[in-house]
Amino acid sequence: RRVTSSDATAPHPPVPALELPPTADGFTAQFLRNLNFDGGVTLADASTNDRYLALARTVRDYLMLHALADQQRQAGAQAKAVCYLSAEYLLGNQLDNDLLAGDLAGVAADAMAACGIDLDELRRHEIEPGLGNGGLGRLAACFIDSLATLGVPSIGYGIRYEYGIFRQTFEDGQQVEQPDAWLTLGAPWEQPRPEAAQTVSFGGRTETVDDAGTVRSRWIPEWNVSAVPYDYLVPGFRNGRVNTLRLWRAKATDAFDLRIFNSGDYEQAVRAQTFAENISKVLYPEDSTPQGKELRLQQQYFFVAASIRDFLGRLPEDFDLARLPERVIFQLNDTHPVIAVPELMRVLVDEHGMAWDEAWAVTQQCFAYTCHTLLPEALEVWPVELLGRLLPRHLEIVYRINEEFLAAVRARFGDDEMRIRDMSIIAEFPVRAVRMAYLATVAGSRVNGVAELHSQLLRDKVLPAFAEFFPEKFTNVTNGVTPRRFLRLANPGLSTLITDAIGDGWVTDLERLHELEPLAEDAAFRAAFAAVKAGNKRRLNEVLQARDGMRVGDGHLVDVMVKRLHEYKRQLLKVLHVVSEYEGVVSGRIALADLQPRTVLFGAKAAPGYAMAKRIIHLINAVGSVVNTDPRLDGRLQVLFPPNYNVTLAESVIPAADLSEQISLAGKEASGTGNMKFALNGALTIGTDDGANVEIRELVGDANFFLFGMTEPEVAEIAQAGYHPAAFYQEDAGLRRAIDLIASGAFSGGDRSVFEPVVSNLLYEDRFMVLADYSAYMAAQQRVDAAYADQDGWTRAAILNVARCGFFSSDRSIRDYIDRIWHTPPTT
Ligand code: Z15
């Protein structure tokens, strides 16, 4: 346990081993201490990795001083805390983030210079912790940054995957996945806390016991694993606050008591060790399409059970658990942590002897659920057979929650069996299974979507019966992104320009960007803004050149589509645009001189088992290799697809973009957060009326946004009437030429079979209506070309995008969570 003010030797300040405020000499001394004592090398002999690790440790040391002081201040506060439960945290690099938050960049630079070390080389040496797939994981990382910056008492809980999101390479244009062994060269940002390990149980059976006249069920588990916490410091922006991100690692317990392996056989015992450690071994690489694997349920229960125990262990010994809602809200980041609901019930009822009704009242106040999707296939459902085998007591608890809930539905609506079947937490077909989103909705005090349109569709389409039953539970919190990482750090040129114009208050008060609006009419400011964009393109080229030997064309419009590869996001629509432009030039329909020079940059990982997504990646690469080398195009159209798009690459790409592609089928993208990052960095959006695009367009204005495509009601209508993609192919000659060119084998060395599945899927299925939106998209791209021809006008629109997107700070999102859901005031 940490030292608290109630210990006999306290109160005393944390040992001031470091000079504060930090000086270059103090920083250098600590750096050398870490290099010598922790790393065991002299400066003269230190490798890049040694120097990186010592630097990281030194930065962490300074933050740790603040963390210890912060913990001492908060210890007696009894404030309500947010426990953010998320299976993913897509953190990105830590060094620059922590140097910025801790205001240590200057002393670190001076100290490294004094040691003759190239700080930029150490920056490039860092490997980002990729403990997430995409938007959901990155949102969690933005939220913990904002929670710390706003001074909200909070803990992020998750899993310390030994392997994060796979490293993507291309072989012959096709995705190949490599394991992400991110921990192998050392993990300087984390602090293992083995003394705070928790035991997590699985399997076995339940039995009923007569407890003084009341029949109680109890769980006799079959096997245990140990959950060891690894803590990451989450510094607020220069406010002395440091929160904790606690990630759990699975280890075999000392006496590993998995009965099936317990034959007294040494080899079996070692294998059992591997079995336990498998639980935190690897991040599942599916974004939005869970595969329903047993190990994934083990991961989910593993981290939430450890987290709940951990949090309860922080309360005073004699704390009355009936008052738990005064002290904590567990925020469920999608359905992944929802097994926490029956777990808290089990702890309260079985371990603490609380009456069921009281425990249920407590539980309902302690949880809130964020839904991040509209895709039915993304809503997790666990077969009863599996849940009963892995967590038999939890299944019983879910059954009872469901029984009581359905009784309440009957009491309100009568024996409307259709409705009962519709609302049951237990689905009966195709197999009996627990609907985790329904469980979360019934259990939580609030249910929120992640953009206005999404929250509305959640009420109207995904959970309508629940919205009718619990109207007061439903609310919206539009997503946001942290301005520290995605503007201040990623775009130093624009940051300086903004700060010179309006001061630096925007870093923690992003709505201040509105003060830039009048400067859109200032020619000198426009010139400076355009120069920053040009500089960002040069910087991107340095990165791309070194990383992949690629470069963006000089004077090109930089057109970017970076996000997970998913059919609903419609990378294929972008491909059809490229192919149409290419076909137009080679067929002579478009004069080369009339073609606006463009570089189209893709970044996307496909889930390893998602065959269509992988074919689309192959197609993008195939189109790129033909288009990029065809002399008839003379380099005026380029397709770049740097492999392994990640947070680090995003930080170079986004500030360099002119055009942001947000072209999902309306009604499918819950929010999007890349869309916000691009607009905030002065890219114009070409987008559908989907997710947070709607709010971006409302804020930046129609004149500064390229809207196209069907609206969600239009999509619903043609889906209802019966969608026939082949009709669009028949009617649109341009579309026909583009599809025919792909089908002809022009991008596959004449082999028509390679992309045949893509073509026939488009023509005969096209679930996401690419063909229906093609002509509107092409027309919108023509508007883009025309607008880009007026460089000064484009820059004016770009400035207005920056000035009007302050709303999309994750600080605002967190304030909304506090006001609408958590009711946890910041503490000082
Ligand atoms: C994920 O990244 C998102 C939703 C999910 O259900 C899963 Cl499993 C992963 C994304 C949404 O697709 C995206 O629209 C949203 O902006 C993001 O979560 C954060 O809310």
Ligand 1 centroid distance, CA of 330 (Å): 19
| Mutate-to-test residue for ligand 1 from 286, 288, 457, highest number of ligand atoms within 8 A of CB | 288
| Mutate-to-test residue for ligand 1 from 372, 457, 458, 693, highest number of ligand atoms within 8 A of CB | 372
According to the model, what pLDDT value does residue 5 have? 43
Ligand 1 centroid distance, CA of 141 (Å): 13
The pair of three-digit structure tokens given for residue 107, joined into one six-digit string: 């002393």
Ligand 1 centroid distance, CA of 376 (Å): 13
Q: Ligand 1, atom 7: nearest CA belongs to which residue?
A: 288
Atom of ligand 1 nearest to the CA of 133: 2
Q: What is the mean pLDDT of the chain?
A: 95
The CATH number of the structural domain formed by 489-808 is: 3.40.50.2000
Of 126-130, 257-261, 717-721, which range is least confident?
257-261
Per DSSP, the three-state class of 404 is helix
pLDDT 10s digits, 553-594: 999 999 999 999 999 999 999 999 999 999 999 999 999 999
Burial, 711: exposed, middle or buried (Cβ in 10 Å; 0-12, 13-18, 19+)? middle
| Mutate-to-test residue for ligand 1 from 136, 375, 481, highest number of ligand atoms within 8 A of CB | 136
ipTM for the predicted complex:
0.97
Integer CA distances (angstroms), 40 to 33, 185, 294, 368, in order: 9, 15, 43, 47
Is the pTM here over 0.95, yes or no?
Answer: yes
Options 3.40.50.1000, 3.40.50.2000, 1.10.3720.10, 3.30.70.260; CATH of 78-93+128-478+815-822 = 3.40.50.2000
Extents of the domains making up the chain: 1-77+101-126, 78-93+128-478+815-822, 489-808
Residue positions annotated with a catalytic role: 372, 563-564, 569, 673, 677
pLDDT > 90 in the chain, percent:
91
For residue 16, name the pLDDT band (cuts at 50, 70, 90). Answer: low
Ligand 1 centroid distance, CA of 673 (Å): 9
According to the model, what pLDDT value does residue 262 have? 58
Q: Considering only residues 212 and 771, tell me which one the structure prediction assigns the higher pLDDT.
A: 771
According to the model, what pLDDT value does residue 256 have? 54
For residue 8, name the pLDDT band (cuts at 50, 70, 90). Answer: very low
Residues with CB under 6 A from ligand 1: 133-136, 139, 287-288, 334, 372-373, 378, 450, 479, 669-673, 691
The pair of three-digit structure tokens given for residue 404, joined into one six-digit string: 């009581």
Rounded mean pLDDT of 700-717? 98
> Are the folds of 78-93+128-478+815-822 and 489-808 the same?
yes
C-alpha closest to that of 445 among 595, 325, 550: 325
Residue 717 in this model has a pLDDT that exceeds 70: yes
CA 298 – CA 343 distance, rounded (Å) = 13
To which H or E segment does residue 368 belong?
strand 367-370
pLDDT 10s digits, 618-630: 999 999 999 999 9
The pair of three-digit structure tokens given for residue 484, joined into one six-digit string: 């520290």
Q: Using the CB atoms, write b or e for 775-797: b if 16+ within 10 Å.
A: bebbebbeebeebbeeeeebbbb
